[in-house]
Amino acid sequence: MSLEQHQEKDYAQDPLALYRAALAAVKKLDGQVTEDVPDRGRLVATFPKTILGKTLGERTHLTCEVRGQGGAGQVVVDAYPLDAIGRKLMFGARKGVTQTVVTLFLEHLDQQLG
């Protein structure tokens, strides 16, 4: 199983609404936005070991790009585990942690869109 996760999801909402929903999802999951470029539809966030009271065991780095024009958009998410000082974890990651963070992020993004 790869330590890195990549997911793409299409939405009927416009890119600006998707971007705002992505920012709200990061906040709801106690993530910290480390890069915020709204005009490019890009945000980068890090998530702690514990999300929504559930201890996952590792920090996670997540990049979200919102693409599209007009009334439809696409969210592209890439994520990988981080070590204790914020570097990309190359081995020894717990199975399923990064996938769990990506899944939670997309679920909360969907909730924000209503």
Closest CA to 20 of 33, 8, 7, 9: 33
pLDDT of residue 18: 95
pTM: 0.93
Whether pLDDT at 66 is above 80: yes
**56/54 Cα distance (integer angstroms):** 6
pLDDT at residue 1 is higher than 60: no
| pLDDT, average across residues 59-73 | 92
Look at residues 8, 75, 11, 2 and name the one whose alpha carbon lies nearest to residue 42: 75
CA 60 to each of CA 18, 38, 96: distance values in angstroms, whole numbers, following the listed order: 21, 21, 11
pLDDT of residue 70: 74
**CA distances in angstroms from 11 to 3, 43, 90, listed in the order given:** 26, 18, 32
Residue 47 β-bridge partners: 60
Residue 20: CB atoms within 10 Å: 15
